[in-house]
Structure 1
């Protein structure tokens, strides 16, 4: 599920936390929480890049910086223990 430094910790977190019926927004929040878990930068979002493929259109689109900031804020609220 995750690769690179801290991948075991992130994979464990995702396996424990992910539910198959979550929304795209909740999955994005979970992804950011996983990134923060292994990242040295636990505050900023400049190191986070995200894309999605919309089910309705099948088109690939980049997630805006503003959306990533929103997901990061939600990740810090929903998974505060993972931000340490």
Structure 2
């Protein structure tokens, strides 16, 4: 079974980066917040599911690779 998640940064402060995410890049339905100090994430709707975990892990991987929080991206498996 294939899985895909898209994400786009909607705001960033010194402490946090907030993203909207979902399986449709034209209609994001959910939001997550990355804590920049700990690189941990929380999801606004409190649904810790595969889509949220996939987006969070990809964001952390891109940050580790680039040294900055990405503006947008996607993850597919």
> If the TM-score is normalised by the length of the shorter chain, which range does it land in?
0.3 to 0.5
- Which has the larger helix fraction? 1
**Higher CA-based Rg:** 1
State the TM-score, normalizing by the size of structure 1.
0.33
- Which has the larger strand fraction? 2
